[in-house]
Amino acid sequence: MAKRIPVIAANWKMFKTKDEALEFIFAVNAAVPSRDEVESIICAPAILLNLLVKREGEHIRIGAQNMHYADEGAFTGENSPAQVKTAGAEYILIGHSERRSLFNETDKDVNLKMHAAFKYDLAPILCIGEQLDTREANKTKEVLDVQLDKAFEGVSKEQALKTIVAYEPVWAIGTGKTATPQMANDTIKDVRAKLSDLYGAEVAAQVRILYGGSVKPDNIESLLQESDIDGALIGGAALDHKNFLTFTKAAKNK
């Protein structure tokens, strides 16, 4: 079976002006590893997508951070999957913890967005994760299993293979707290086991599963040394282009 290509995905959240975005992409275009070594993705605000797509180098790809699941409609302020696709994005973040907690996104919404992504040939980066009280109650696997069951409802085996899963313990996002590499790997092994239950071991072995949660230049290598961590979804630390290149270099050496 072919090796899983590592993924480094930067989530810019609500940061960067037009000029800052251009400065970043011009700095990294020629310096990231080739796409057959590392999948290097920038998930940018919708207003910057086309700007970045027009200037992306051969080995950088652009993703959106959110979209509505409807094809079109009276949803002021939202972006449709068709709009995301025609802006040139190839990836879409779905179910990020901030969307769930700040904007009341439900597991049902996540599933609808998964199906919308496949309809428009967008590759989902599906985010799952647990709160601190869940971790402390030893119910992480139980909660993640439910999130996976609901997210993948009605999703075919072929579609599952196009999905990247990002495990992000909510208690470690932007807090400075990080799951230990072994803790993150053990949880990701549980996620892969759940995917095996849903789609079989062969599919589960091919799906890339990322870790997200206070990933920094000084811990990326130790995280990527783990057997089942296939890369990282990185917020604040990836806003700096030098850090982003550090992350992609570490992924190349995995």
Contact predicate 240/28, CB 8 Å: no
Name 30's Cβ contacts closer than 8 Å, sequence gap at least 6: 57
Helices (H), the chain: 18-28, 49-53, 81-86, 97-102, 107-119, 132-136, 140-151, 157-161, 181-199, 201-204, 220-224, 241-252
Confidence at residue 132, expressed as pLDDT on a 0 to 100 scale:
86
Per-residue model confidence as pLDDT tens digits over 55-65: 999 999 999 99
Per-residue model confidence as pLDDT tens digits over 87-96: 999 999 999 9
Q: Are β-strands 123-128 and 164-167 bridged in parallel, bridged antiparallel, or unpaired?
A: parallel
214 known ligand binder = yes
Contact predicate 124/159, CB 8 Å: no
Q: What are the boundaries of each domain within the chain? A: 7-252
Q: Enumerate the active-site residues.
A: 96, 168
CATH number of 7-252: 3.20.20.70
Largest CA distance in the chain: 47
- Alpha-carbon dihedral of residues 53, 56, 59, 60, nearest 10 degrees? -60
171 known ligand binder = no
12 known ligand binder = yes
Residue 16 pLDDT class (50, 70, 90 cuts): very high
Per-residue model confidence as pLDDT tens digits over 152-211: 999 999 999 999 999 999 888 777 776 899 999 999 999 999 999 999 999 999 999 999
236 known ligand binder = yes
